């Protein structure tokens, strides 16, 4: 008989962060940098742990340059050629602390990963990203990559439950990507019925990872800076963003004009758009298709970065956390039935 887990599982929209007495004078006094030591690579990292997703239109070299100025991280998408990587690496040495090379388990991915890391041995991070982090095949792939690259920090996912976080960490991954179905252009939940509410997934997976000395990324589902703060509050070490970074100059893809408005396309990595672009190369990227949306052009990503970092700093001041590191310890979530007052939503164009 099928089982039902009756525990309530929550999404970002189901909670708010309770304010607490605080001695912090201004949000300028909040330090958002974090330092980590990784369990399996033994390497360290210092930076602001907000990440651009390894999607065509987000994880670009241009995004990496804009992000690295703030010590923020970019998982570069897997469709750049080794030659393009070579040029990037030679011309942007200051960004290399803050980028990862991505790979899936498609044929040729391991070879391409090796080629890129040979050209750019300074790169410390590998992001292994597949449709279904639960497959035994993927676990073996993580073991193989660990064996081949003992000194690189490996991110792996996606999963949403503690036992699989543990398995991947014990197989050699340092940082686990958490999230199945919450993404803005993801249709997994619709197509398959599979998923896990993201806030609860993050809380449970962070607990499992931290117990072993591992780390996690909350990947997908953030719609506004408040959601990013909630993900950190729930225990995420890094928060990965796709949709919130789409539509900017630094986002890949062409600009089109429609009814006098400038538009950029944003699409899931297993959407028809992505598959057409990479001609069959990414058909297995996600368990089900993603969708394509038109985003109103938003200019430089710098303003969006300021908005996100300003929001998180402010959350920290509301709960009395002088460092991002203290945020989860100082977070109490309140369950709510309404997060935002939407009365004027129809009249506004900017969030």
Q: Which positions touch ligand 5GP (CB under 6 A)? A: 53, 55, 158, 179, 183-186, 188, 219-222, 240-243, 268-271, 286, 290
Q: How far is the CB of 245 from ligand 5GP (least distance, A)?
A: 8
Q: Which residue is nearest to ligand 5GP (CB)?
A: 290
Q: How far is the CB of 279 from ligand 5GP (least distance, A)?
A: 16
Q: How far is the CB of 275 from ligand 5GP (least distance, A)?
A: 9
Return d(Cα 199, Cα 233) in angstroms, integer. 9
Name which of 89 and 155 has its Cβ closer to ligand 5GP: 155
Q: How far is the CB of 53 from ligand 5GP (least distance, A)?
A: 3
The yes-or-no answer on residue 188 being catalytic is: yes
Name which of 89 and 282 has its Cβ closer to ligand 5GP: 282
The yes-or-no answer on residue 331 being catalytic is: no
Q: How far is the CB of 60 from ligand 5GP (least distance, A)?
A: 14
Catalytic site residue from 95, 153, 186, 315: 186
Catalytic residues: 186, 188
């Amino acid at each position: 008989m099928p089982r039902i887990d009756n525990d309530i599982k929550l999404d970002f929209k189901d909670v708010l962060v309770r304010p607490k007495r605080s001695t912090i004078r201004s949000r300028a006094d909040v330090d958002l940098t974090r330092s980590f030591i990784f369990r399996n690579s033994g390497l360290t990292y210092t930076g602001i742990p907000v990440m651009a997703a390894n999607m065509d239109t987000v994880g670009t070299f241009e995004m990496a340059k804009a992000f690295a100025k703030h010590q923020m991280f970019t998982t570069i998408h897997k469709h750049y050629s080794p030659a393009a990587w070579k040029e990037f690496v030679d011309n942007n040495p200051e960004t290399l602390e803050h980028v990862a090379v991505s790979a899936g388990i498609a044929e040729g991915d391991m070879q391409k990963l090796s080629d890129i890391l040979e050209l750019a041995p300074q790169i410390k991070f590998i992001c292994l990203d597949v449709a279904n982090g639960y497959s035994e095949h993927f676990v073996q792939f993580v073991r193989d990559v660990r064996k081949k690259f003992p000194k690189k920090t490996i991110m792996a996912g996606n999963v949403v439950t503690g036992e699989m976080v543990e398995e991947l960490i014990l197989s050699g991954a340092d940082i686990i990507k958490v999230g199945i179905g919450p993404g803005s252009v993801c249709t997994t939940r619709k197509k398959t019925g599979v998923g896990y509410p993201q806030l609860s997934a993050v809380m449970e997976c962070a607990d499992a990872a931290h117990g072993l000395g591992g780390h996690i990324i909350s990947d997908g589902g953030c719609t506004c800076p408040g959601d990013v703060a909630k993900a950190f509050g729930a225990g995420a070490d890094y928060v990965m963003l796709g949709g919130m970074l789409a539509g900017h100059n630094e986002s890949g893809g062409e600009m089109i004009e429609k009814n006098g408005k400038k538009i950029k396309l944003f699409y899931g990595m297993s959407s028809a758009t992505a598959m057409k672009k990479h001609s069959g190369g990414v058909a297995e990227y996600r368990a089900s298709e993603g969708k394509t949306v038109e985003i109103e052009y938003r200019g430089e990503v710098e303003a969006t970065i300021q908005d996100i970092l300003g929001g998180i700093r402010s959350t920290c001041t509301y709960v009395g956390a002088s460092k991002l590191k203290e945020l989860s310890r100082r977070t109490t979530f309140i369950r709510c039935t309404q997060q935002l007052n939407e009365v004027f939503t129809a009249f506004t164009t900017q969030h």
